[in-house]
């Protein structure tokens, strides 16, 4: 085995520094050969060996790549963890976590998880013998009743949820999971590590679709699992290499570059989201606005306690049928009608017809995803332009 210390070092977590400093520097010391300030894109599938086993910490790019290591270390640092494991998408991260379970194991999940997560649970892993129960995790008694001691291995907590922005008490749910020997995993995609620190609240693992706020520019798809548990991390690295849903170095570079401005972007996303939430709350065409920062949000108190900010996502229900709702989201001119979220540009969509179309209509109805529910990822455009754009879309959608 080589005695050369691999670069970048996995322990370069920049501990003790503030969030912005870690976002910019963790896992990203200057490259030692040329002094490049930015982590290079190591576009290679394999690495030379000076003798059998005589490598510099990297053998084959599915197993490890320095650009990926830099991203994994940076993400670990931002979540206050020791280990980050990156994947080719958020769904690949989810699937890899589920592969750590065995037939007969049971998972309790938030009832309005991202539609793609629901699809993985129901169409990929249920047929393989994993059991799932969906429950409103804001309801402690219901969550408790759903647990099966000795069988429940995982509590899947998406908070805030997508698209209903329910806020789940992470500390309470982690305690509940641990009481039956299960792990508590938090999908932290919406809040990002800047606004929410699940591991500090007792969760065992965090999952991200880095496609969203972390990448931040709608130009890359990726995912990650982050944990402080050595054993779970080792299992994730084993499955990452064995299943092989790994991100390429160019994607890791783009995600790292996006992360450098995460804190600055999130502050602005939040400021505009709060302003638009207040504007929509007073609009005659709007039935209700769902934004954790509004005092009217049912879990506003939990959000204020466990989050450092309320984020840039908001949902609102139009006083409209599906046809008018479709006209409304098709009428915006600054906001883009598209799935996904977390980019610099504002994205608007209709969950019932788009992101959550894979969830059957009766299930959607039961959990409260109405046909007129609009989800808005508030971007970084000027707030006045966003407000005027909504105003003109309301006016245009009134005309049949
Ligand atoms: C909360 C959440 N988790 C996971 C995912 C899946 O991530 P990806 O699209 O990167 O596979 C998404 C995608 O929208 C999401 O919103």
For residue 134, the 8-state DSSP code is E
For residue 128, the 8-state DSSP code is T
Atom nearest to 92 CA in ligand 1: 11
| Ligand 1 neighbourhood includes 89 CB (under 6 angstroms) | yes
Q: What is the pLDDT of residue 399?
A: 84
CATH 3.40.50.300 fits 19-259, yes or no: no
Atom nearest to 223 CA in ligand 1: 10
Residue 251: pLDDT band with limits 50, 70, 90: very high
Q: What is the pLDDT of residue 135?
A: 96
* Contact (CB, 8 A) for 188 and 196: yes
CA gap 272, 274 in Å, rounded: 5
Q: What is the pLDDT of residue 13?
A: 96
Query: At residue 1, does pLDDT exceed 70?
Result: no
Identify the residue whose C-alpha is closest to ligand 1 atom 10.
90
Residue 3: pLDDT band with limits 50, 70, 90: low
| Ligand 1 neighbourhood includes 158 CB (under 6 angstroms) | yes
Residue pointed to by tokens 């084959």:
60
| Ligand 1 neighbourhood includes 215 CB (under 6 angstroms) | no
CATH 3.90.1150.10 fits 263-398, yes or no: yes
Best CA proximity match to 29, nearest among 69, 84, 76: 69
Give tens-digit pLDDT for 86-115. 999 999 999 999 999 999 999 999 988 888
Q: What is the pLDDT of residue 105?
A: 98
Can you tell me whether residue 104 is helix, strand or coil? coil
Domain with CATH 3.40.640.10 in the chain: 19-259
DSSP string across 295-359: TTSTTHHHHHHHBSS--SEEEEEESS-HHHHHHHHHH-SSSEE-S---SSS-EEE-TTTTTTTTS
DSSP string across 10-25: TT---TTS-HHHHHHH
Which among 157, 190, 212 is the best mutation to test ligand 1's pocket, defined by most ligand atoms within 8 Å of the CB? 212
**Whole-number CA gyration radius for the chain:** 21
* Contact (CB, 8 A) for 137 and 173: yes
CA gap 340, 21 in Å, rounded: 28
Which among 111, 159, 162 is the best mutation to test ligand 1's pocket, defined by most ligand atoms within 8 Å of the CB? 162
Element (H, E) at 64: none
CA 90–ligand 1 middle distance (angstroms): 5
Give tens-digit pLDDT for 135-160. 999 999 999 999 999 999 999 999 99
Give tens-digit pLDDT for 298-352. 999 999 999 999 999 999 999 988 889 999 999 999 999 999 999 999 999 999 8
CA gap 220, 210 in Å, rounded: 8
- Residues with Cβ within 8 Å of 391's Cβ and at least 6 positions away in sequence, in order, are none
Q: What is the pLDDT of residue 357?
A: 84
Domain with CATH 3.90.1150.10 in the chain: 263-398
* Contact (CB, 8 A) for 167 and 314: no
| Ligand 1 neighbourhood includes 349 CB (under 6 angstroms) | no
| Ligand 1 neighbourhood includes 116 CB (under 6 angstroms) | yes
Poorest-pLDDT segment among 6-20, 23-37, 306-320, 352-366: 352-366
Q: What is the pLDDT of residue 2?
A: 53
Atom nearest to 158 CA in ligand 1: 1
| Ligand 1 neighbourhood includes 247 CB (under 6 angstroms) | no
| Ligand 1 neighbourhood includes 110 CB (under 6 angstroms) | no
- Classify strands 131-135 and 106-110 as parallel, antiparallel or unpaired: parallel
Peptide bond between residue 163 and the one before it cis (omega within 30 degrees of 0): yes
Best CA proximity match to 157, nearest among 172, 149, 148: 172
* Contact (CB, 8 A) for 90 and 209: yes
- Residues with Cβ within 8 Å of 308's Cβ and at least 6 positions away in sequence, in order, are 194, 195, 196, 197
Which among 109, 114, 210 is the best mutation to test ligand 1's pocket, defined by most ligand atoms within 8 Å of the CB? 114
Distances from the Cα of 206 to the Cα of 85, 265, 344, 378, angstroms: 10, 21, 24, 24
CB atoms within 10 A of CB 305: 12
Residue 161: pLDDT band with limits 50, 70, 90: very high
Query: At residue 358, does pLDDT exceed 90?
Result: no
Give tens-digit pLDDT for 34-47. 999 999 999 999 99
pTM for the model stands at: 0.96
Give tens-digit pLDDT for 180-196. 999 999 999 999 999 99
Atom nearest to 116 CA in ligand 1: 6
Q: Which residues carry out catalysis?
A: 62, 114, 187, 212
């Amino acid at each position: 085995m080589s005695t050369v210390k691999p670069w970048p070092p996995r322990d370069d977590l920049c501990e003790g520094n503030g969030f912005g400093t870690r976002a910019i520097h963790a896992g990203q010391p200057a490259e030692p050969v040329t002094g490049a300030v930015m982590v290079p894109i190591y576009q290679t599938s394999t690495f030379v060996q000076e003798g059998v086993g005589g490598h510099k910490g990297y053998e084959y790019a599915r197993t490890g790549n320095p650009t990926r290591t830099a991203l994994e270390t940076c993400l670990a640092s931002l979540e206050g963890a020791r280990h980050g494991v990156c994947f080719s998408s958020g769904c690949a991260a989810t699937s890899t976590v589920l592969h750590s379970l065995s037939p007969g194991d049971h998972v309790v999940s938030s009832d309005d998880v991202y539609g793609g997560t629901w699809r993985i649970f129901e169409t990929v892993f249920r047929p393989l013998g994993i059991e799932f129960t969906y429950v409103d995790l804001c309801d402690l008694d219901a969550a408790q009743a759903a647990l099966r001691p000795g069988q429940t291995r995982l509590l899947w907590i998406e908070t805030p949820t997508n698209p209903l922005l329910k806020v789940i008490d992470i500390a309470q749910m982690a305690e509940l999971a641990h009481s039956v020997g299960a792990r508590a995993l938090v999908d932290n995609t919406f809040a990002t590590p800047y606004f929410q620190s699940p591991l500090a609240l007792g969760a065992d693992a965090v999952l991200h679709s880095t496609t969203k706020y972390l990448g931040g520019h709608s130009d890359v798809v990726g995912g990650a699992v982050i944990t402080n548990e050595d054993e779970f991390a080792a299992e994730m690295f084993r499955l990452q290499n064995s299943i092989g849903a790994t991100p390429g170095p160019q994607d890791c570079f783009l995600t790292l570059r996006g992360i450098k401005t995460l804190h600055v972007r999130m502050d602005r996303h939040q400021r505009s989201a709060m302003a638009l939430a207040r504007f929509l709350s007073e609009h005659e065409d709007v039935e209700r606005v769902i934004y954790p920062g509004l005092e009217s949000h049912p879990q506003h108190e939990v959000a204020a306690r466990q989050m450092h900010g309320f984020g840039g996502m908001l949902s609102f229900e139009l006083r409209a049928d599906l046809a008018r709702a479709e006209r409304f989201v098709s009428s915006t001119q600054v906001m883009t009608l598209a799935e996904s979220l977390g980019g610099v540009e504002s994205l608007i969509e209709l969950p019932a017809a788009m992101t959550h179309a894979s969830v059957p209509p009766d299930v959607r109805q039961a959990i409260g995803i109405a046909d007129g529910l609009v989800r808005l990822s508030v971007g970084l455009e000027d707030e006045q332009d966003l407000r005027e754009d909504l105003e003109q879309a309301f006016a245009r959608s009134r005309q049949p």
